[in-house]
Chain A
Amino acid sequence: MDFALSEEQRLIAETVRAFVEKELYPLEDETEKTGTVAPETAAEIREKCKAAGFYAANLPAEVGGGGLDCLELTLLERELGRASMALTVHFARPSGILMACNGEQREKYLLPAVRGEKLDALAMSEPGAGSDVRGMRCAARKAGGDWILNGSKHFISHADIADFVIVFAASGEKQTARGIQKEITSFLADRDAPGFSVLPGYQSVSHRGYNNCVLAFDDCRLPQSQVLGEVGEGFALANEWLFATRLTVAAMCVGRARRALDLALEYAARREQFGKTIGKFQGVSFKLADMLTETDAADMLTLSAAWRAQKGLPANREIASAKLFASENLARVADNALQIFGGMGLMRDLPLERIWRDARVERIWEGTSEIQRHIISREMLRPLESR
């Protein structure tokens, strides 16, 4: 067993961290104040990311990506997680699902996404279909050689700045052992496709400037060539490529927790009350000890889950544990850090207020804590149920 990072892993983590601290931290205040990132600022981040060769680092080198493996990518996400998502979205990692593009789709979507000419968004959630994804009502029906999409999606992250959207829609039904199930197909929808509109979403407490959108499909006609993967295989596709998004959340939570902890530690060592620094009070110092211990644990869970995924070992349960623990740890660490700061912690003038707000969504998106516990316990109980 070897816990040391390789030379490459260390340099990747150090470089991304330096980029985040130097290029993104200074932009956070403005992003929080205005709730938006100016297009020219976004373009500048993308250019700097490209110059450092990190654009689309998650996609294979054969298509022009950075070719990072699962562990390297997890380290990258961990360091990115320190900064505001409205900014890190431009340090782009196009959705891995784009690797399912074939024929002309590669030229039209995959390669421009890798080159940074087009930004993608992924549309799954609906008002009536959150954790129960199969409950989706957005439907695609065949009309001649085309597909007609009707329905709506919500909580679609950064669709407002995306050039195209990968949208999942119910395209039929099939008889399975568990009864009738919806068949899901994924489509590539250009932003300007007739009948497709991107509408403003809700005002979220988390990740200001990283907007969620509502998508409306009103007799949106898409040719057969816009089907991503096979008809009816949307879920298989999502499972193949999207499991990593939970790992991403776990990693980002670890990075952000470290930042909150660093802030709290610095403050505890400097702030004086009752004639000594507050870190000398056990009520503060024991909090710091717990924060570090649990953040280290979250880090280890996340990296070991990534290691399993990379080795091709079953990792579903381990990724669920990492996502669950890292996101809940971030909530605790952010809350404790804020407590150590006292009243100042609540003020928008410090990054902690944002980190505390941003932490809340991490226990909800990419599978709620409850869904992760369901995945974990199901795997624990399954072998015993057959006895």
Chain B
Amino acid sequence: MKILVTVKRVIDPYVKVRVRADGAGVETEGVKMAMNPFCENALEEALRWREKGEASEVVALSAGGAQCAETLRAALAVGADRAIFVKTESPPEPLAAAKIIAAVARRENPGIVWMGKQAIDGDFNQTGQMTAALLGWGQALFLSAAKLEGGAVLAESEVDSGIQTVRVKTPCILTADLRLNEPRYATLPNIMKAKKKPLEEMSAADLGVDDSPRLTVLATAEPPPRAAGKRVENAAELVRLLREEAKVLS
């Protein structure tokens, strides 16, 4: 079984994000970029499954500007077998990304598409779900554990009320949460091999996907600065304020 893993290039999670002067988004020029942390979990899981002999090949996929190839090389250095880079004019929105992933999945026929549950830049949390819908495949999302069982995946999904255990038949879409595993570092031997591993490049048009933006960003603003806290005398006072002032309790 082949696993397709999507890896998105995002601003490094440890970098302080700045709003662009024109308000059209956040500044990415000269800013340190990294692989989306949730995608790292997805990649790690795929590699573990390959090491256990449950998967035969791990293919990394990224879509976006030319520098996404760097993120794919990083994925190869961590251990992916080969990479597919889909070049787009602008960073793909969730629907465009889902169409690209679905198109690549139709070509590659993976048993599983492992994805991050969301990317830390847009925080849309839509791409996995849309991809599943476009392909007509099952989906298991926000996973903190997953294993193959016969022709299905038994997965533990993090939901508001706790952990939901689901079984989903392959082929399917799985999305990773941070608690799924601890991603490994790139290994030196793989770094040295990364350049020799195949990295196939194509455009969204090659896949027959219209990646033109459908969303218009009206404004981007910094979150309001945090107001000073308030000291309360006792728990009863706290509950009263939460109810009457903050209105978070009813």
Contact = CB atoms under 8 A, between A and B. Distances in A.
Interface of A: 7-8, 10-12, 14-15, 18-19, 48, 51-54, 57, 66-68
Contacts of A11: 73-74, 77, 186, 191, 194
Q: DSSP majority for the B interface?
A: helix
A279 B190 CA distance: 42
B4 to A, nearest CB: 22
Given A8-B194, A11-B74, A15-B77, A54 B188 contact: yes
A92 to B, nearest CB: 13
B192 interface: yes
B184 to A, nearest CB: 7
A68 B189 CA distance: 10
A48 B185 CA distance: 9
A14 B184 contact: no
Contact of B194 (A7, A51, A53): A7
Contacts of A10: 70
Contact of B191 (A8, A18, A19, A48): A8
- Among B187, B191, B194, the one with the most A-chain Cβ atoms within 10 Å of its Cβ is B191
A52 B190 CA distance: 9
Given A7-B194, A8-B195, A11-B194, A52 B188 contact: yes
A25 to B, nearest CB: 11
28 contacts: A7-B73, A7-B195, A8-B191, A8-B192, A8-B194, A10-B70, A11-B73, A11-B74, A11-B186, A11-B191, A11-B194, A12-B188, A12-B191, A15-B77, A15-B185, A15-B186, A15-B191, A18-B185, A19-B185, A48-B185, A51-B184, A52-B184, A52-B187, A52-B188, A53-B187, A53-B188, A53-B189, A57-B188
Nearest to B188: A53
Given A7-B194, A7-B195, A66 B184 contact: no
Contacts of B194: 7-8, 11
A354 B208 CA distance: 57
A19 B186 CA distance: 10
Contacts of A18: 185
The 8 closest A-B pairs by CB, nearest first: A53-B188, A53-B187, A52-B185, A15-B186, A11-B191, A66-B188, A11-B77, A53-B189
- Among A12, A48, A53, the one with the most B-chain Cβ atoms within 10 Å of its Cβ is A53
Interface in B53-91: 70, 73-74, 77
Is the interface on chain B under 10, 10 to 19, 20 to 34, or 35 or more residues?
10 to 19
B177 to A, nearest CB: 19
A53 B187 CA distance: 5
Q: DSSP majority for the A interface?
A: helix
A370 B116 CA distance: 55
Interface string B191-220: 110110000000000000000000000000
B190 A53 contact: yes
A7 B73 CA distance: 8
Contact of A51 (B74, B187, B191): B187
Contacts of A54: 187-188
Contacts of B188: 12, 15, 52-54, 57, 66, 68
Contacts of A57: 188
Nearest to A23: B185
A57 B77 CA distance: 16
Contacts of B189: 53
A106 B74 CA distance: 35
A18 B77 CA distance: 14
B115 to A, nearest CB: 22
Contacts of A68: 188
Contacts of B185: 15, 18-19, 48, 51-52
A12 B186 CA distance: 8
Given A52-B187, A53-B190, A54-B188, A14 B74 contact: yes
Nearest to B187: A53
A12 B77 CA distance: 10
Given A15-B77, A15-B186, 15 more contacts: A7-B73, A8-B191, A10-B70, A11-B77, A11-B194, A14-B186, A15-B185, A18-B185, A48-B185, A51-B184, A51-B185, A51-B187, A52-B187, A53-B188, A53-B190
B199 to A, nearest CB: 10
Interface in B71-130: 73-74, 77
A67 B77 CA distance: 16
Nearest to B193: A8
A357 to B, nearest CB: 26
Contacts of B186: 11, 14-15, 52
Nearest to A10: B70
Nearest to B195: A7
B61 to A, nearest CB: 19
A116 to B, nearest CB: 14
Nearest to B189: A53
Contacts of B190: 53
Contacts of A53: 187-190
A12 B192 CA distance: 9
- Among B185, B190, B192, the one with the most A-chain Cβ atoms within 10 Å of its Cβ is B185
Contacts of B195: 7-8
B246 to A, nearest CB: 28
B213 to A, nearest CB: 30
Contacts of A14: 74, 186
